[in-house]
Amino acid sequence: MGKGKIKGKGSRGKRAPNRLEHLNTVPDVVDVTVEVPNCAQDVELRCVSTDTLVDVRITLSELPETCHVTSYSLRRCNGDKLKRGLEVVSLKPNRVALCHEPYTRQSALSQVRRFADLFTCANLLGPVAAKKDKPTDSWLADTTRKQKLSSLTPSKMESAGAKSGGMWEEPLLHQFYSYFSFSEVGSPVSEVSVRELQGGEAFVEVEVALAGDAGEIVVAEGREAGFVAKGSKGEVHETLVSLLKAESSGFRQGYEALMGAFNARNQFGNPPLGLRCNTWVAPPCLSGERGRTTPAEDAALGGSIGGNLSGKERNWGLEFARGAAMPGNNPAERVARDHRVFLLWSHFVDEAVVTAITGEGGSQRYLEVRRTREATELSAEIGSSGSDLSRDREAALVKGLLADENTIARDVGALAKVTIHFNGEVIEVGAASGSGSDGQAEAWALEDEPALREGVQALNVHGLRRRVIHLEADGGAGEGEDSLGGLLSRASFPEGDLTPPKLRWELVFSWVQHLKEKEKASSSGLRRTFRFLGGSDEGERALREAIGEERWNQLAKLNLGLHRCTLGQLMDLANRFYSDVALAKIVSDFESLELSPIDGQTLTDFMHSRGINMRFLGRLATMSRKNLIHIHHLCVQEMVVRSVKRIVRAILAGSEDLAAKASSVARLFNDLFGGRDDLWEWIGRYLRTRFGYDLDGRIAEGAQLAVLRDICKRCGIEVVARTYNFASGSPFRASDIVSFFPVVKCLQFQSTDARELLEQAKGLLDKGKLDDAVMASTSALSKIVAVCGSAQNACCANAFSLLAVVLYHTGDFVQAAVLQAKALVINEREFGLDHPDTIKSYGDLAVFYYRVGEVDLALTYVERALYLLHLCVGEQHPNTAATYINIAMMEESKGRVGLSLRYLQEALKINQRLLGGDHVQTAASYHAIAIALSLMEPPLYPLAVQHEQTCLQILETKLGPDDLRTQDAIAWLDYFDLKAQEGADATECNIASKGHMSVKELMSFIGEEEKEKEKRKKKKAKKRSKTPDSVLKRNSVSSSSSSGEETSRSDEEAEGIKEEDHAPVRPARVAVRKEAEAADEEGVWVVVGKREKRDKREKKEKREKREKREKREKRTPAAAQKDPVLNPNAALFHPRSLNPNAKQFVPSFKK
């Protein structure tokens, strides 16, 4: 595979808000060849048919050969200039030429910024983490000696693995940026500075300090034609790299070494360029004395924090009202409406955040900003009360009852509202009241929308940080201790009950959908139920008066009987659904791993998507205590984080000095992880009062980093990237608090139609309908791009990921890797370097690279995913077990079967502890271990049979005998049993070398293997007499026989027959039995030996097995026969990374 062929990072789709004819076009892989000047070879790119030349430019910016070029155009071979929006499928031939374009002032600054960005990974991100040796597998080698094979059992394997230690490695926070670092190569540049010039021929003046003992400084000027050394009349160069190569041999060698390191890391490109400081761990360059950010966001180099900003006034209230009034009666109208609303909403949110934090913005006249201080006293009470709460609950009830595809787009009050918690303040921003009355203002044209500008990125709120300037290393410790003690002493708790939790309209909508499903099953029964619960004429009249005639008619059209109940009765029914169905359903989804949260934010998102208020965390923790230990721990952790968040906000509101705030926060962290008694006493009381949960412990060992991460992300704190010793009394210093950044809360707008298409694609994938799933996921992606106007938007990442998974199942691994790479770069840039979606993308991309044969690269990605998982959730989580299984699969392909088996044993222990010994996920672990055992030298087929039997027992109990997964297990058990019976011949053919095999293919393979074996037996049998050695005949010389040659044997033939007695058991031959029967009829004395009986019995058993296989083959769905899976050695194993129902990748079976 040529360089860059699989690379398609950062795709930008076409803008077609009103076009729907392309929604059913399945994407395809398109190879594009780019002619690059001064390059020995052309660059070959692997793109997707939906890509444009903008995607080609993004891909070129991330390849070592072309990453330093910024000002250029793409032309046809005849010299015609191509438009950037041209689709790659329109290129005929698929060959373009890269041609240099003159610089402008802005493009000259972009060239300087890209030049500095090339060396970020070598001099700004800290050292590279030392590689650790792989865990030893000596216990396995000792256990699998020939003399111990007979005594090896699954329980003894588990015992041996436990004695050797687990695979857990505590994540070291100072290695957070090591994945991106190339410091071992060294940077040829130590410093880059730029100065804009006014007047004259040059736009900018660039000063480059070269690395090395000499400390040479090169000064260059950027002009329209290119860059030239200052004061020199020499050659003008197209880029700074080409200029410095000509000026310094040391730079040329260092640059080539760095590009060579990029290629060695990933031959498909992917250098760590354009990194943003968008997570809670501050990079070394930011936490240092100078406090430098990365070049992509460095204002001195022309960088920015991104955002859809225009600097122009916009009447937000009027525009939102216009968007809500647009028709939405069919998909085409909704796409056009959602496109307008999305562009407006994204512009409003970014302008509101920047205006609230900096006080600058072009639309301040049409924004209403309200600032209040955070509560300085600790209390368990929060939210509305009295009549306000009652009105809010009734409004949410009616909204949920009448929700449809237009609800979110027409919810102007929610769309035009942003809440920001920053530095001790609560800032609420909304559209100014009365701003929608100016009906004469014209709507913005699409070309004026900032979200449609090329290269625009999402706003990085970390760029609005306030950095702490520390005068002393440990300053402020005393003040921090006093402030916390005072807060705890003044803390109050209400004597009575807290205000009822807020009712979310999503819950009511889920309730209505639940009733519709029951209506399909038994419509009359539902109506009787509602009549029994209070539906009446009086309730109908009361509801008409309460919600109005129009809304009542909409509710009556649902035909569910709800229109005959009063508001109070409807509220009671919704609350009953809340307690009886909604909570049990989400726990069931957690148990089936359809939902798999890995941190507090994903847990919150899952609960809010079901309409469940976070006040029910305590009840969820109680419900999951027994069977879902990881969910129980996560719920408890989230409650603790929410309590500590109250304290942090009170501390930030109690002082104006940033250094004092940092000192108080550091003291709080020390007391929290050190186990301060009065602090944990308050936390326990808060959880009991707020969530109804009795805390019975403190932070578990190994979960400290996960708790620290959640607190920092929720409270807006950036800390130094160093390893903290939580066992010490004071692991934190005031200087460890680098800065405070704003935490933004707002409604996330999305296309309802696109979301439904995504859900439809997931369901089709689960049912094995791959062709339909491809069409649905393609339509969803196209619709999202049409709504967002760009494939670079964060909303597109999930669609890219789902389409990649579907294409992976169809066997198109290359295109799956291309699309997943797009999802990864969007998630890293838009959400953060350690966001759950980013972790999932790392894991999925590792699987796809593995399937295209890039095992070393796959291991690099999956190890990054494992590090982030350990950081976010620790080891005791099903996602961690799934990652262990993925690593085991890749290590096995490298020939390290023993190491692979250790990872599998660890995954099995985790699944047994968290999910139970009878969980389907545990069955997947048993199956994966059986596969690994079959690949041992020598193969341990008897032990593989035992593990596969355990797997089959679990599946038959949980899923039944007719489930596809159960049939897979039966097929594999037959295969292992067959190989175990063969004994020494087991190594003749390895089924693992066949890659993925469905049930039908597996049956065919086993049948062919048996046929080949029969042929070999018949061929050997021809070399001996037709009379079997198991038949003894006492016959006189004068007795008649069918053939005299058959009764006369030479001594050599007789010896050959005796040797055959010790050969493997062979099937009886029909011709021999006919001969024996004929001899018996003629009065010949015939004795049938034990071997003949054994042959008859074995042939009968094989015939019965073959008949069973043929029946199973007929029952096997056609879709399942072509469904590829992650593990090429197992048709049973399905990773959760390939199940789009969950945000995280954990192994699972398809439904």
Percent of the chain at pLDDT exceeding 70? 76
Q: What is the pLDDT of residue 1014?
A: 64
DSSP codes joined into one string, 661-708: HHHHHHHHHHHHHHT-HHHHHHHHHHHHHHT-------PPTT-HHHHH
* CA-to-CA separations, 541 to 394, 548, 956, in angstroms, rounded: 17, 10, 54
- Give the whole-angstrom CA distance, residue 731 versus residue 50: 51
Q: Is the peptide bond before 961 cis (omega within 30 degrees of 0)?
A: no
- Give the whole-angstrom CA distance, residue 777 versus residue 757: 7
pLDDT for 1031 beyond 50: no
Query: Phi first, then psi: what are they for 876, rounded to 5°?
Result: -80, 75
pLDDT for 1063 beyond 90: no
pLDDT for 14 beyond 90: no
DSSP codes joined into one string, 938-962: S--HHHHHHHHHHHHHHHHHHT-TT
Residue 16's SS3 state is: coil
From 296, 504, 487, 282, select the one nearest 400 (Cα to Cα).
504
1081 burial class (0-12, 13-18, 19+ CB within 10 angstroms)?
A: exposed
- Give the whole-angstrom CA distance, residue 58 versus residue 71: 13
Could you tell me the pTM of the whole model? 0.82
Q: Determine the residue type at 260.
A: G
The answer to whether 104 touches 275, Cβ cutoff 8 Å, is no
- Report which secondary-structure segment, H or E, holds 8: none
Q: What is the pLDDT of residue 1052?
A: 39
* CA-to-CA separations, 1103 to 382, 676, 936, 1017, 1112, in angstroms, rounded: 72, 72, 30, 17, 14
- Give the whole-angstrom CA distance, residue 632 versus residue 770: 36
Q: How many helices (H) and strands (E) does the chain have?
A: 42, 18
Beta carbons within 8 Å of 787's beta carbon, 6+ residues apart: 17, 335, 338, 339, 342, 751, 754, 795
Q: What is the pLDDT of residue 1013?
A: 58
The answer to whether 20 touches 331, Cβ cutoff 8 Å, is yes
Beta carbons within 8 Å of 31's beta carbon, 6+ residues apart: 5, 44, 45, 46, 47, 94
The answer to whether 630 touches 914, Cβ cutoff 8 Å, is yes
Confidence of residue 953 (pLDDT cuts 50, 70, 90): very high
From 616, 643, 3, select the one nearest 270 (Cα to Cα).
3
Q: What is the pLDDT of residue 1076?
A: 36
Distance, CA of 393 to chain centre: 35
Q: Which residue has the tokens 């355990």?
A: 950
CB count in 10 Å sphere of residue 104: 13
Q: What is the pLDDT of residue 1132?
A: 32
204 burial class (0-12, 13-18, 19+ CB within 10 angstroms)?
A: buried
- Give the whole-angstrom CA distance, residue 943 versus residue 935: 12
Tokens of 727: 């066992």
* CA-to-CA separations, 298 to 210, 463, 964, in angstroms, rounded: 20, 10, 55
For the ranges 325-329, 925-929, 1041-1045, which has the lowest average pLDDT? 1041-1045
DSSP codes joined into one string, 564-606: GS-HHHHHHHHHHHIIIIIHHHHHHHHHHTSS---SHHHHHHH
pLDDT for 1021 beyond 50: yes
Query: What is the arithmetic mean of pLDDT over 158-185?
Result: 75
pLDDT for 618 beyond 60: yes
Give a three-class secondary structure readout of 224-271: CCCEEECCCCCCCECCHHHHHHHHCHHHHHHHHHHHHHHHHHCCCCCC
pLDDT for 866 beyond 60: yes
* DSSP 8-state assignment for residue 492: B
Confidence of residue 292 (pLDDT cuts 50, 70, 90): confident
Ranked by mean pLDDT, which of 34-43, 675-684, 897-906, 1036-1045 comes out on top? 675-684
1068-1087, pLDDT tens digit by residue? 333 333 333 433 333 333 33
Tokens of 792: 């670079």
Confidence of residue 483 (pLDDT cuts 50, 70, 90): confident
Q: Which residue has the tokens 């175990």?
A: 980
pLDDT for 328 beyond 60: yes
Residues in the chain: 1151
Query: What is the arithmetic mean of pLDDT over 1104-1125?
Result: 48
* CA-to-CA separations, 825 to 66, 269, 280, 791, 1102, in angstroms, rounded: 18, 12, 19, 12, 54
- Give the whole-angstrom CA distance, residue 539 versus residue 222: 78
579-604, pLDDT tens digit by residue? 889 999 999 999 988 899 999 999 99
795-808, pLDDT tens digit by residue? 889 999 999 999 99
Selected residue with higher pLDDT from 360 and 862:
862
Q: Which residue has the tokens 């055992």?
A: 933
- Report which secondary-structure segment, H or E, holds 105: helix 105-117
Confidence of residue 5 (pLDDT cuts 50, 70, 90): very low
Q: Determine the residue type at 776.
A: A
Q: What is the pLDDT of residue 59?
A: 86
pLDDT for 853 beyond 70: yes
